[in-house]
């Protein structure tokens, strides 16, 4: 069981399974289509990229690891424009350290404390829970609902 923190090695090992679950189990209250998605390593730094089409809106998400915060971090874009912000004070433009593109960075204050209270049982569950929480800040109509049996298929 994780206790509110995740190291980079654990993150890198869990990322492909998390990515698979996220792509397969994202839901929306409008028509959702996954345009593209991948997990890649750039100079040893792993990230998960998901591009969605929601009705007339494009959303891009990048999940990567921040060594300073020692936590996963979420960068996102709406309609390929870092100037379109969401209604969150902790969201600001930043050049993604791996992809070298400007995204909105969701600063996740107190992530460790939040994740300690949830007590996820595995690194993959940690990432799914974490992403599901912060996803709703980006678009209230999006959610990540992973059925219990889906974990078995990616963790075996």
Helix (H, G, I), strand (E, B) or coil at 154: helix
Q: List, as one string, the DSSP characters of 122-150.
A: SHHHHHHHHHHHHHHHH-TTEEE---HHH
pLDDT at 90: 62
Residues of the chain with pLDDT > 90, as a percent, come to 38
**Domain extents in the chain:** 8-155
Residue 84: C-alpha distances to residues 58, 77, 80, 138 (Å): 12, 8, 9, 11
Contacts of 68 (CB under 8 A, 6+ apart): none
**What's the CATH fold of domain 8-155?**
Yope Regulator; Chain: A, (3.30.1460)
Give pLDDT tens digits for 80-106.
655 555 555 566 677 777 778 888 777
Q: Using pLDDT thresholds of 50, 70 and 90, give the confidence band for residue 12.
A: very high
Give pLDDT tens digits for 13-61.
999 999 999 999 999 999 999 999 999 998 888 999 999 998 888 999 9
Q: Using pLDDT thresholds of 50, 70 and 90, give the confidence band for residue 64.
A: very high
Q: List, as one string, the DSSP characters of 4-30.
A: S---HHHHHHHHHHHHHHHHHHEEESS
Q: Using pLDDT thresholds of 50, 70 and 90, give the confidence band for residue 1.
A: very low
Average pLDDT, the chain: 83
pLDDT at 84: 54
């Amino acid at each position: 069981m994780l206790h509110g923190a995740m190291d980079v090695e654990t993150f890198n090992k869990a990322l492909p399974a998390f990515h698979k679950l996220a792509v397969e189990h994202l839901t929306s209250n409008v028509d959702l289509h996954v345009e593209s998605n991948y997990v890649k390593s750039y100079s040893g730094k792993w990230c998960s990229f998901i591009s969605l089409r929601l009705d007339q809106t494009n959303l891009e998400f990048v999940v990567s690891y921040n060594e300073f915060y020692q936590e996963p971090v979420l960068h996102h874009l709406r309609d390929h424009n870092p100037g379109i912000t969401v209604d969150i004070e902790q969201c600001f433009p930043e050049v993604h350290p791996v992809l070298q593109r400007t995204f909105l960075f969701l600063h996740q204050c107190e992530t460790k404390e939040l994740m300690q209270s949830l007590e996820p049982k595995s690194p993959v569950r940690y990432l799914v829970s974490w992403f599901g929480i912060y996803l709703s800040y980006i678009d209230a109509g999006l959610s990540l609902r992973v059925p219990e049996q889906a974990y078995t298929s990616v963790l075996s």
